Structure formats: structure tokens, C-alpha cells
Structure 1
Amino acid sequence: MTDATPPNRCRIVLIAPAGETPADFESRLRQAIAGGDIASLILPAYDRDEAAFQAFAARIVPVAQAAGIAAIIAEDTRIAGRVGADGIHLEYGREELEEAIERHQAKMMVGAGGAKTRDDALELGEARPDYMFFGRFGYDTKPEPHNRNLALGRWWAEMIEIPCIVMAGSDIASVEVVAATGADFVALSSAVFGDGVDPEQAIARANAILDDTAPRFDFRESE
């Protein structure tokens, strides 16, 4: 988070895009941070090898943390530990997720993704991850969010206490429809880091939309 008192409504989770050099992404992340409240940042490896991904994470994680943003490493628990990340994001089956939670949750957040159905989500949810993510990294190529992700997020927010993150579309205005599901967090990637986008302006606009339209949480407190 970037404010001393985070807003009591749906907040922003950034997903680092593919194909960024550490220096270029650091610059764009700093611009995004200047735009306002951000809860967390997820760093997927994409096609980087282990050494390249660790170097990328080692440069970006301190930048996020210095701004009060939780830094989450996707899939690689070893790199998460080496760079001092705040969490790990896993798209495993329930058994593997339970094992990771047992080993790591005392030291860092363990979030889950990859569920495509309600049954998938419920099975993963029984492991008690710190959050459930509905969406796929790198697939926010259309202006609007995917209908399946919206439907799963709405159902999850109504039924389950574990916080959820729903992937928005490539249009920053899509944060409104995500927030309307009751999701705790809206994930943004191409809407902030796409070609020709000013990250600072995008984050400022997203927060303004959420301030004006997102439901307030009366009985839940986001992380």
C-alpha cells in the first residue's frame, strides 16, 4: 500500500508484464507508485531462467517494499526467500498448495491461482491460502475483464471469507466492473504497463474510479 491508511474498498494489485528489463520495469513501476494507492505487486517469471528471474526480482522487490507495496513472487519459493519477498503466488493442485502453505505461510503470504471452476476454487480454498486469484497472467488483452473471472470473483466474494483478486481488462475503466463483484483486489497489468500508457496517470485514474464507485467493506478488511 502507498497510503498510511489504505482505503476500505477494492484495491489495486499490479502484475508485472512479460518482456521487461529490470531497469525499464523499475522506471515504470516508480511512475505507477507516484499515481497513488497500490496494495501489492506480483512478479511472474514468464520465460526468464532462474538466474534472470532472481536478478529481476532482486531489483524490483526493494522498490515495491520501500513504497509499502507487498512484493509477491509467482511460483518460485526459493527466489521468494532469497530476495526477501512478502509472499508467493502458486498455481498448484491442492496437495502441493497445502505443502507450500505448511512450509512458508508462517514467514510470508501464500496466494493461490489457476482455478477455472467453482469446484477448483473450493478445493484450493480448503488449503486456506491468503488469497485466491481469478485470471491468467498475460491474458488481459481485451478492454473488458473475462466474464468467467468476474463470475467466479462475485461468487467467491459472496460466499468465502478468504480475499480474492480478479484480473481486470486492458482498459483502466474495467476496474469498476471488477469492484462491483465485491472482490477485495483488482489486478492490473496491460492497463498500466501497456504500450503508450502512462503508468502514473493510469494508477491515478484507477484509484479515482475505485474511490467513486467501489463498494465499501463494512465487515471485511483487505490486507
Structure 2
Amino acid sequence: MTLPEDRCRLVLIVPDEADDAALAEKLEHALRGGDVASVILPQYGASDSDFQKRAERLVPLVQAAGAAAMIAGDSRVAGRARADGLHVTGKVEELADAVEKFTPKLIVGAGSAADRHTALEVGEVRPDYIFFGKLDGDIKPEAHPKNLDLGEWWAAMVEIPCVVMGGTAVESALAVAETGAEFVALRRAIFEHPAGTAAAVSEINAILDEKAPRFGA
């Protein structure tokens, strides 16, 4: 995951859809819409073999656009698909194991911190980033207040970059940016946007360019 230049950047979370071809088309359009730091591909309920096929189809699209392709699921799938990294949603012990095994060959991100105590335990393991929220946690237009609070607390105190899950509305990206978080993650706001995924990414980048606070300012 490339670090931000001077403001919060966008992370895409691939939704759970049955049609891989349609999903690939939506993702390709999204990546043409503007700046995207990385794309996280969750396994959801897919079998390892189906997830493998999906990853092998989508990872090259992400990398061709200059974004980091992150696998949230089996590390073997990440390796076979030649992804850039692994997003670990398990316990801190599982994260520590992944950091030890795969750093620095792969980016290793932490997605299991639901409170400050766990976040500090995660920080001791030194992942490449910490994620506040659930990958499918965008159930309201706005970002969850708890995740915004965690992002603001973390960003003010810890050097490890943080990603905060946004809501279903594109405007939720700005609320995340205002916490000082380095990245905002969006799923339905992108993939269910009425004007399409490219328009969604373009609109969010325009909002962040115009209104997001600048780092180091």
C-alpha cells in the first residue's frame, strides 16, 4: 500500500458478487476513475478454489493501475495470485505469525482491532497498516462513529498508517479524512454508485482534493 502524498487516499473493498466477469469490469472502471492506493479482496464465503480464480482475475487489474492488491483470506491464495499483500482479520497471534513469515516480501495489514486495547496490541506487532471497521461494515450512509474515534485517536498518536471504513455515501470519505487517517476504505459507495464506479472514484477524489486536511500542514 503506497503512502499518501499529502492527504487521505482511497482504498477499495471488492464486494461479494457471483459474476467475476462483471465484477472485474466494475473494478477496472473504478481504477480508471482516479487515485486508488489499494484494493482489498475479501474471501467472503467463497471456497478456496473459487477465491483463487477470482484473485487471479482481479489482482493483475489492480496492479496494472498502480494500486496494491491485498488478499483478505488464505495466504496461499495471496501467493499464488501474486498479490502485493495480505489483510489479516484474525487474532493478534495470527497477525504476528503473518508479519514474521511474510514481511517484507508482502504488505501485511491488520484488520482485527475493534477497541483501543487491541489496537495497541496490534501496534506492537508492527503491521504495515491497521484497519478500523469491518470489510462489510458499510451498512449506513455515514462511517461508524466508533471507527472514526479510533482513527482519530490512532492517527494522532501512532506512526503506523490507519485505514478507516467509510459508509455507503461518498461524503463519508471526508469525515474519515478529517480524523487524520491516511486512508478511507469504501465498498458500496463505489460499487453501488448510481453513476458507476469510475464516477464514484472521481467524485471522492474531487471531494478529498478540495476539502481533506493536508498532512504536515
Q: Which of the five TM-score ranges fits, normalised by the shorter chain?
A: over 0.9
Partner of residue 130, structure 2: 132
2:80 alignment counterpart: 82
Give 1:1-223 correspondences, 5 Å limit: 7-194=5-192, 196-218=194-216
What is the count of residue pairs matched by the alignment? 217
- Compared CA separation, residues 85 and 151, structure 1 to 2 (3 A): same
Q: TM-score, normalised by structure 2?
A: 0.96
Give the superposition deviation at 1:156: 0.4
Aligned residues of 1:191 and 1:197 also touching (Cα < 8 A): no
Offset at 1:99?
A: 1.2
Single out whichever of 178-187 and 75-84 deviates more from structure 2: 75-84
Residues 108-153 of structure 1: per-residue CA shift (max 9 Å, x gap)? 1000012111001101111000000001122202100000000000
Counterpart code for 1:68? G
Contact in 1 for aligned 2:193/2:200 (Cα 8 Å): no
Segments of structure 1 that go 5 or more residues without pairing to the other structure are: none
In structure 2, the gaps of 5 or more residues are none
TM-score (norm 1): 0.93
Identify the range of structure 1 (15-24 vs 83-92) with the bigger mean alpha-carbon deviation. 15-24
Q: Distance in 1 between matches of 2:206 and 2:197?
A: 14
Q: 1:197: Cα distance to partner?
A: 4.7
* Local SS of the residue matching 1:181: coil
